[in-house]
Amino acid sequence: MIEITGVSKSYAKGTVKAVNNLTMKIPEGEIFGFLGPNGAGKSTTIKMLIGLLKQDAGTIIMNGINILEDITSVKKIIGYVPDEPIFYDKMTGTGYMNFIADVYGVPLDIRKKRIPELSEEFLLLDSIDSVISSYSHGMKQKLGIISALLHDPEIFILDEPMVGLDPKASFILKEKMKELCDEGKTVFFSTHVMDVAERLCDTVGIISKGKLIACAPFNELRKNSGESSSTLENIFLELTDEADITTV
């Protein structure tokens, strides 16, 4: 479970409020889609969730652990896929995955099973012994996803995970996210692909200018819009336009 209560984060000595009094609760077994325009505060929120940034105010609880009190324990239960994974390009895929397994303390017998299984699942098995510098962007994205799953995380956090993936790989990732939720785990991901969020997410949160302006299942958002045929894209554009107007 992810519990975010009254969280704020500012930059430029407090003059730019990237996240403003954010409160959300994402239970186990749920896929949560985090949407917002560029610069809305999505990446800042994710960086606070994984411990790369400290919030200025508020609390973040991950599976009962306060992130400011025990970040090491929190990082052990999180799998994180950034929007642009960074690798040691001279390593092979296998070498990198073993490096990540070492970081998380994955036992040798388990990694020997999970590395080939996940590599085959994400169609990367034939390339894992090649150097990463030879990988395409999509292959690197797959490597980042596999590496984030190696330690079997309880919470899976992804920042724009579909970017660079071909349709088949995107389908595989979506099925994996559903599988994790069926196991009672939590998936939190940001995306600009509205139809993916509409079809995949149990709950959608929409942020604009650092403030959460909607958080509900898609059907509830559509009901609140008053248009039974509204798409998530329509609702998103309407809500973010209204948010921009109210801040003028």
CATH of the domain at 231: 3.40.50.300
Residue 220 counted as domain residue: yes
pTM here is 0.90
Query: Domain tally for the chain?
Result: 1
For 207, the domain range is 1-77+184-248
Residue 167 counted as domain residue: no
Residue 124 counted as domain residue: no
Alpha helices of the chain — where are they, by DSSP H? Answer: 42-49, 71-76, 93-104, 108-121, 137-149, 167-182, 194-200, 218-225, 232-246
Q: Measuring CA to CA, which residue among 215, 240, 220 is closest to residue 230?
A: 220
Contacts of 227 (CB under 8 A, 6+ apart): 234
pLDDT tens for the 248 residues of the chain, in order:
999 999 999 987 777 889 999 999 999 999 999 999 988 999 999 999 999 999 999 999 999 999 999 999 999 999 999 988 889 889 999 999 999 999 999 999 999 999 999 999 999 999 999 999 999 999 999 999 999 999 999 999 999 988 888 899 999 999 999 999 999 999 999 988 888 899 999 999 999 999 999 999 988 988 887 776 688 999 889 888 755 544 43
